[in-house]
């Protein structure tokens, strides 16, 4: 994982986030247009059952169930108040190198936390299955 690779940093730029909103179910006459979603840091990450799933590229918060009147920036702030991207006072292009590195460090923390939480969930699921097997074996021996 190279935190400064092009793949890891390209979503900092509005145009790249906007490109992900192909097939987004809300367009003109709505607050949650692709343009407003991308400005608020979201990328479109649809699934078979959720065509309106959007995730902040920075804090990785996923939101779905969007309504036409939902304000993407306000929704982002209310669901992920610790996101450094939505709290930025400057455009990415205006950040100093030092400011960008600090921002990227915070993003890496979100990525690491998500990865650790996924590993813990997998471990807990495997432990439940193993426990059930042990109980079956113990009950079967009685």
- What single string gives the DSSP state of each residue in 51-112? TT-EEETTT--EE----TT--HHHHHHHH-TT-TTTT-SS-GGG--HHHHHHHHHHHHHHHH
Q: Is residue 61 part of a domain?
A: yes
In a domain, 14, yes or no: yes
At residue 97, the pLDDT reads 93
Span 84-108, pLDDT tens digits? 999 998 888 999 999 999 999 999 9
The reply to whether 22 falls in a domain is yes
Asked if residue 125 is part of any domain, the answer here is no
How many folded domains does the chain comprise? 1
Q: What is the CATH number of the domain that holds 15?
A: 1.10.1170.10
Given a cut of 50, the residues of the chain with pLDDT beneath it are: 142
- Structural domain boundaries, residue 11: 6-107
Residue 117 lies in a domain: no
Q: What is the pTM of this model?
A: 0.80
Residue 77 within any structural domain of the chain:
yes
The SS3 assignment for 111 reads helix
Residue 68 lies in a domain: yes
């Amino acid at each position: 994982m190279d935190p400064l690779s092009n793949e890891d940093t390209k979503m900092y730029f509005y145009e790249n986030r906007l490109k992900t909103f192909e097939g987004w179910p809300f367009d003109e006459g709505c607050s949650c247009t692709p343009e407003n979603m991308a400005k608020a840091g979201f990328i479109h990450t649809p699934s078979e059952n959720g065509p309106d799933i959007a995730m902040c590229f920075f804090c990785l918060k996923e939101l779905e169930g969007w309504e036409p009147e939902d304000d993407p920036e306000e929704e982002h702030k209310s669901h992920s108040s610790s996101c450094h991207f939505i709290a930025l006072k400057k455009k990415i292009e205006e950040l100093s190198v030092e400011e960008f590195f600090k921002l990227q460090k915070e993003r890496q923390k979100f990525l690491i936390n998500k990865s650790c939480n996924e590993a813990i969930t997998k471990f807990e699921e495997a432990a439940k299955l193993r426990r059930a097997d042990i109980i079956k074996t113990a009950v079967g021996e009685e």
